[in-house]
Chain A
Amino acid sequence: MTDHPSPPAVVPSPLTAFFWEGAAAGELRIQRCQACGTFIHLPRPVCRRCHSFDLRGEVVSGRATLYAHTVTMKAFHPFFVSRLPYVVATVELAEQAGLMLMTNVVDVAEADLHTGMDLVVTFEALSPELTIPVFTAASSIGASR
């Protein structure tokens, strides 16, 4: 038995299950309107551009640029206390201008984080039940893939 705190529970809804199923399978999936092609995040039941209800999760490239980041120095949940400091970031996905995702940037020294840098998705298992899509520097991955 361990008393290490659990990560926040994620309870997928019919609207969000694709995202978490994708993460568990090592894929970044983002909701996309099947009528007009607009990507939408966070998931919504209707397309804000054309009002179609035909929306589906689609695998995206996992390429992004760093829009903004903040180094979290104080934890607000027991699971994250041992992870301090960690980087919370807003990234712009390559698929569409203004398509933003909030995530973490991992394995990049703070001094090397810079706005606009190229990032690529990777996946981190927080627990056997929960895997999250996080991002790292594209330059550190490119050579090995």
Chain B
Amino acid sequence: MKSRRVAIVGVGYSRVGRHTGLSERHHAAQAAIAALDDAGLTAADIDGSTTWGGDAIDFAYMLGMNPLRWHLNVGVSPAFVTPAIHAAMAVATGQSDTCIAFRIMMQQPSSATLASGEAMLGATSSEDTQFLYPFGNFSPTQWAGLMMNRYLYDSDATEEHFAEFASIQREHATRNENALQRTPLSAAEYLAAPYISKPLRLLDCDYPCDSGSAVIFTTEERARDLRQPAVLVDAMALSAVHDMNFEVMADMSHTAPVHCAEQLWSRTDLRPSDVDTAQLYDGFSVITFQWLEALGLCEPGAAGPFIAEGHTRLGGSLPVNTDGGACNVGRRHGANFCIEATRQLRGQCGDRQVPGAEVAVWANAVGPFAGAMLLTST
């Protein structure tokens, strides 16, 4: 089977916000229509559909993308990069010529609602959660707290470096009119914010919201005739190193991103030094730190000092999370990193454009599993 080169040709968001009152279908429809418009395509051009959140066939049929030559619903997996990689594979292998990938994410109950017992995470413990819940471990903030505690021990990072990271990301968000959090944030304000699961603070967490994101993949050949400058998929990798029980991983500082990055770099002639901008998952900020090291964008254990030295700022040697990251644009579960990388390579990022960006890497998830994609402008 011959493999075809794949390009990203359309990207779009729904009207993202806190408690929008809109359904998954609303968010899928808005995001898809925005992505079609961005690409200059119509629903009839789409012959493949995949999603995490909702149902790929349902969304496609609703939008008149019918019939489908290929479709897939992905389950728990490394965020948006999973449907994105599957869509790219479907196009590469000829299962689909033009495929849409969705991530639809609805805001979850607040911690106060959970603590009141009004919205239980699970009425009884399943075979695995019975080893977590009785110990008061219910929330991803707790494995993230464990991971950050161990990372602070294993690396050169300090809590002050995390404060710098939050402040820099917010500064990027002030240049993004679509970010939900745009008020400048000082390192001191970060340090004054409450701990959720110490050492993890509130401002280490992505910002909950309702969001729909859609990205359209097609062949390089077809991309050349469409509205936008083509952005090419150079390499991609999807890794797993453990089952889903983050809390019993024996090495929390060197997790799936390490394996994923090895796979990624083995599939390209590009090197870490070729990357002009990196868009790295920040569901919890320690994840971005781990990706910087795993991808070889800084020395092992040195992400904290690397950030504090200003390398990841706009204007620095390697601008990171130039849209402000999910801490500020809201939880789009990885899709914003794909969309921001694409827009950077097209040169469409206005005040936050990385000059001459030709190579971008975007990456999702941490711990048991991870995925990454390397994109180029030519």
Contact = CB atoms under 8 A, between A and B. Distances in A.
A70 B200 contact: yes
Interface in B97-147: 111, 114-117, 120-121, 123-125, 127-128, 130-139, 141-142, 145-147
Nearest to A92: B250
Contacts of B125: 8-11
B252 interface: yes
A102 B131 contact: yes
A61 B153 CA distance: 27
B130 A10 contact: yes
Interface in A60-101: 67-81, 83, 85-86, 88-90, 92, 97-98, 100-101
Contact of B146 (A8, A19, A43, A69): A69
Nearest to A76: B138
B153 A115 contact: yes
Interface in B290-338: none
Nearest to B253: A68
Contact of B199 (A70, A76, A92, A130): A70
A104 B248 contact: no
B112 to A, nearest CB: 9
A43 B149 CA distance: 26
A77 B146 contact: no
A120 interface: no
B198 A70 contact: yes
Interface string B136-170: 11110110011111100100000000000000000
B375 to A, nearest CB: 34
Contacts, number: 143
A42 interface: yes
Contacts of A103: 135
Interface residues of B, number: 44
B20 interface: no
B107 to A, nearest CB: 16
Interface string B351-377: 000000000000000000000000000
B75 interface: no
B199 A74 contact: no
Contacts of A10: 124-125, 130, 133-134
B195 interface: yes
B128 A42 contact: yes
A69 B149 contact: yes
B146 A70 contact: yes
Interface string A5-18: 10111111101100
Contacts of A9: 123-125
Interface in A1-32: 5, 7-13, 15-16, 19-20
B128 A86 contact: no
Majority secondary structure of chain A interface residues (helix, strand, loop or mixed): mixed
Contact of A90 (B117, B128, B141, B247): B247
A101 B50 CA distance: 36
Given A70-B142, A81-B115, A76 B149 contact: no
A78 B120 CA distance: 9
A11 B124 contact: yes
A119 interface: no
Contacts of B248: 41-42, 90, 100-102
B195 to A, nearest CB: 5
Contacts of A126: 134
Interface of B: 111, 114-117, 120-121, 123-125, 127-128, 130-139, 141-142, 145-150, 153, 194-200, 245, 247-250, 252
17 contacts: A41-B131, A67-B150, A68-B147, A68-B149, A69-B149, A70-B200, A72-B137, A72-B198, A73-B194, A73-B197, A75-B136, A79-B136, A81-B115, A88-B145, A90-B252, A98-B250, A130-B134
Interface of A: 5, 7-13, 15-16, 19-20, 41-43, 67-81, 83, 85-86, 88-90, 92, 97-98, 100-104, 115, 126, 130, 132, 134
Given A11-B124, A71-B197, A81-B115, 8 more contacts: A8-B124, A10-B133, A41-B248, A68-B252, A77-B121, A78-B117, A88-B145, A101-B248
Which 7 pairs show the lowest CB-CB distances between chains A and B? A70-B145, A98-B250, A71-B198, A76-B138, A68-B150, A102-B247, A8-B133
